[in-house]
Homo-oligomer: A and B are copies of this chain.
């Protein structure tokens, strides 16, 4: 398998070290814990620029934001689409932060890959082998989120589809699994971090926002993720969480984000990494 540690690690990552994935100046899988932040959804130009500026100042090295949104109900906000991509590019120009955004269908892959620095495949598409393979040949690094009920083995095989498409720049992301617990929408499964890291050379990051669905849990779980070896975090931040068009309950404020960064930095240093 292409994802496997021993056989493919060094070569697969282009000879520049074990399991390193580069997105612009950002390096996943190196000593630095990569901090990605931004709103769940790009809602307006102002909203995005505000948040982008603030998360950069607080320490984020990459921006996230949804232009095309996968929603459970067809009656909820589905994203700004092309306009959202445009604002993301503007936020990048303003802050210097590269950005990752989700692609929902092969028809959009080319357009998104032309402007985004990294293409995200969401939890709901982890089993969508057609999209996986197409994303693998889009020319940009891929952030592949774990399916909400995917076993580790199945998740790695999904990564294999992307790698088969030609990409060598794939980053994995634990984002919560379905369990019997009802206090949270999903249960963040941190066991996946060390389990994945012993099977694959691909970097592994964690999404404590979707992974718990409760903003109060984001900071403690972000700290825990770094403590058990995560190579990065992807966090939902909103300037007005109570007015967010999507997933407001799990977004943290700009102030909370700045405080979180400080706490996570201490833990990163405690495990021999930087932030």
Looking at chain A's contact residues, the main secondary structure is helix
Q: Are A267 and B263 in contact (CB under 8 A)?
A: no
- What is the CA–CA distance of A187 and B179 in the complex, to the nearest angstrom? 10
B195 touches A183 (CB 8 A): yes
- Pair B271/A180 contact, Cβ less than 8 Å: no
Q: Which residues of B contact A123 (CB under 8 A)?
A: 127
Copies in the complex: 4
Chain B residues with CB under 8 A of A228: 220-221, 223-224, 227
**Are A216 and B194 within 8 A (Cβ)?**
yes
A187 to B174: give the CA distance in the assembly, Å.
14
Q: Closest CB-CB distance, A203 to chain B, in whole Å?
A: 16
Q: Enumerate A183-223 residues with CB–CB distance to B below 8 Å.
A: 183-184, 187-191, 193-195, 198, 212, 216-217, 220-221, 223
Which of B75, B124, B227 touches A128 (beta carbons < 8 Å)? B124
Given contacts A74-B160, A148-B149, contact A271 B223 (CB under 8 A): yes
Is A30 an interface position by the 8 A CB rule? no
Contact bitstring A56-84, B, C-beta under 8 A = 1, else 0 = 00000000000000111111000000000
Which of B71, B191, B223 interacts with A181 by CB under 8 Å? Answer: B191
Flag the segment in A31-39, A151-159, A248-256 that touches B: A151-159
The B-contacting residues of A in range 103-135, CB under 8 angstroms, are 104-107, 123-125, 127-131, 133
A178 at the interface (CB under 8 A from B): yes
9 residue pairs bridging A and B, Cβ less than 8 Å apart? A104-B130, A149-B149, A151-B183, A188-B191, A190-B221, A190-B224, A191-B217, A269-B270, A270-B270
